[in-house]
Amino acid sequence: NMREIALKLGADLPFFLYSGFYQRNFILMSGIGENILAHSTDQKITTKDQKKYFLLLINPLKKIQTSSCFQQYQKLKKNYSSKLTGEEISNLFNSNHDITCLISSSVKYKNDLEAAAMTILPEISTIIMALKKQEGCIMARLSGSGATCFGIFATYLDLIIAYRKIYRDDWWFYYDQLC
């Protein structure tokens, strides 16, 4: 099956393969990328209160192999987070496609690989801590097994100030409005 082949080629491949088939999907991933739960919708993600959120992506321009990250995770002898319950998944999917609800629900979850990735590449810790210290940062995490980190900001001004405070010539940055 195509998903099994994609997983052998790279942990993120099943996600990109699967999400490509559906234009408007909420997708939850777990495991190393093999567990994918999608919820199709014809509705656009919006905010009921017209609130806008802003995303800042930062990558230290150094690579982490996904397999190395999982190996480091095993060395740290950490337990994986428990799987989301049916109710938690339902709450995420049935948030009326409201970004405020999705963000507030997501804050309580973590990326299990973050500690392992920080051990392999300390710049990840530097980036996440710098994001968390910024005014208006609602959430800062590692994306996948690294090395891109993201911060979600309450206002465009908060994002721009954070960008200027954190900016380094030897890192990659990108920012945009979420919806």
pLDDT of 172 > 90? The answer is yes
CA-CA distance, 106 to 100, in Å (whole number)?
10
Torsion of CA 97, 23, 107, 121, to 10 degrees: -170
Residue 86 token pair: 């049916």
Angstrom CA distances, 162 to 113, 154, 157, stand at 25, 12, 8
Q: Mean per-residue pLDDT for 148-172?
A: 95
pLDDT of 145 > 70? The answer is yes
CA-CA distance, 32 to 13, in Å (whole number)?
10
Q: Which residue has the tokens 């300390």?
A: 122
- Which amino acid belongs to residue 135? E
Query: What is the pTM for the complete model shown?
Result: 0.77
